[in-house]
Amino acid sequence: MKLRVVGAQIPVVENITSNFNAINHAIDYAIDECADILLTPEGSLSGYTNQFNQVDVQTALSEIVAKASKHDLGLALGTCFNEDEGICYNQIRFYDPNGAYLGAHCKILRCGTLTDPPEGEINSYGIKPLQVFHLNGVPIGGLVCNDLWANPECTPLFDQHLTQQLSQMGVKIVFHAVNGGRDDSEISRIVIRNFHEANLRMRARAGRLWILTVDNAFPEDRPCSSPGGLISPNGQWIAQLPSQGEHFLVHTVQFD
């Protein structure tokens, strides 16, 4: 079994048209590389917000899926989305190369303050249980940003070791969509970025998982909050993206 994967470190803002254009650029790259699936950052279509125009997101999403499926490209698309039950979720939406919707991973370890009660996105998005999806015969899973590293400064929720859970469910590769805050401080540039990288590599090793991870490239004059790239089940970087700006990577993953 194998998958040819593309990771897109693209800018994500709170403008659906700008995001749509960035995603289309990534799709063009993935099509040229004959990829099986493209991963985009957290909130890459809607923006990282629950205050978005649902009609505009749905319209743009339909165009994106139609274009990708025309070229046999699957999607692991990061976006916030209002489902039919009226609940907003921070998702990775999975589509197969024919454009069929496989389902969505909805962020579980949502960020919030350590106050009582907590404030932040923990109050804005619903959650759903972990799921396994199948693409070209490969069991795959998704995680959104803090789902993977459970930063103790960013959430009052306990680390559920979601990578380990996905591994036990049979997943071979995790698609990890990130949209982390960043500034010019040493804590942001060194401590948090190193924390994110260490977690990525250690959790890949612990779960014997491949992890493809991409962050928001905006603002493009600052390093991303987390390194992007592809990590093997022994915790080694197989392909790594530059630390800042828009970039893409492609790799064919061969599974045992």
Task: Locate all alpha helices (DSSP H) within the chain, ordered by sequence.
Answer: 16-32, 54-70, 146-149, 162-168, 186, 193-207
- Is 89 a residue whose pLDDT tops 90? yes
Longest dimension (CA), the chain: 50
Strand ranges for the chain from DSSP E: 2-9, 37-39, 74-82, 88-95, 101-106, 133-135, 138-144, 173-177, 210-214, 229-231, 237-240, 247-254
Residue whose pair of structure tokens reads 């919030």 in the numeric block: 112
Backbone angles phi, psi at 247, to 5 degrees: -150, 160
Q: What is the pLDDT of residue 40?
A: 98
Q: What is the pLDDT of residue 183?
A: 87
The predicted-structure confidence for 93-148, as pLDDT tens digits, reads as follows: 999 999 999 999 999 999 999 888 988 899 999 999 999 999 999 999 999 999 99
Q: What is the pTM assigned to this prediction?
A: 0.97
Neighbours of 31 (CB within 10 A): 17
CA distances from 224 to 36, 62, 219, 220, 251 (A): 26, 29, 8, 8, 21
* Domains, in order of start, for the chain: 2-254 (3.60.110.10)
Confidence of residue 198 (pLDDT cuts 50, 70, 90): very high
Structure tokens at 182: 């960043």
Structure tokens at 149: 């590293």
The predicted-structure confidence for 229-256, as pLDDT tens digits, reads as follows: 999 999 999 999 999 999 999 999 999 7
